[in-house]
Amino acid sequence: MIDLYIIPLGTEREALQLTNQLRKSGLAVDIEMLSRRLGKSLDLANRRNIPYVLVLGEEELESGQVKVKEMATGREISISLQEVGSRIKQELIMSK
């Protein structure tokens, strides 16, 4: 089962780096690489029952903050890029 789905918006290289980093930390991460529209990518995450989605654009890279969407509830969590792995693990544990 995939824990997190990353959707890059013009940030494919950085999204791949983040994906590799999160995978090394033990998370099951998938990344959108087919350049689907945001809505289509979110629909795919829903159909695949992926619990969390992270959209990574230029603005997020500049600020160092990302929003992670909990797909089941629609709740968005604001997290620093450095804390994504630990925070997602914490959220997964709390949701069980």
CATH number for position 59: 3.40.50.800
Matching residue, tokens 């997190």: 4
- Per-10-residue mean pLDDT of the chain, 96 residues long, equals 95 96 95 91 95 95 94 93 92 81
The pLDDT of residue 35: 84
The pTM assigned to this predicted structure is: 0.92
The pLDDT of residue 93: 83
Tokens describing residue 86: 């630990």
Q: Which domain holds residue 64?
A: 4-95
Q: How far apart are CA 46 and CA 11, in angstroms?
A: 22
**DSSP code of 88?**
H
Matching residue, tokens 């029952």: 49
Q: How many domains does the chain have?
A: 1
Q: 18: Cβ–Cβ under 8 A, 6 or more apart, which residues? A: 6, 56, 81, 84
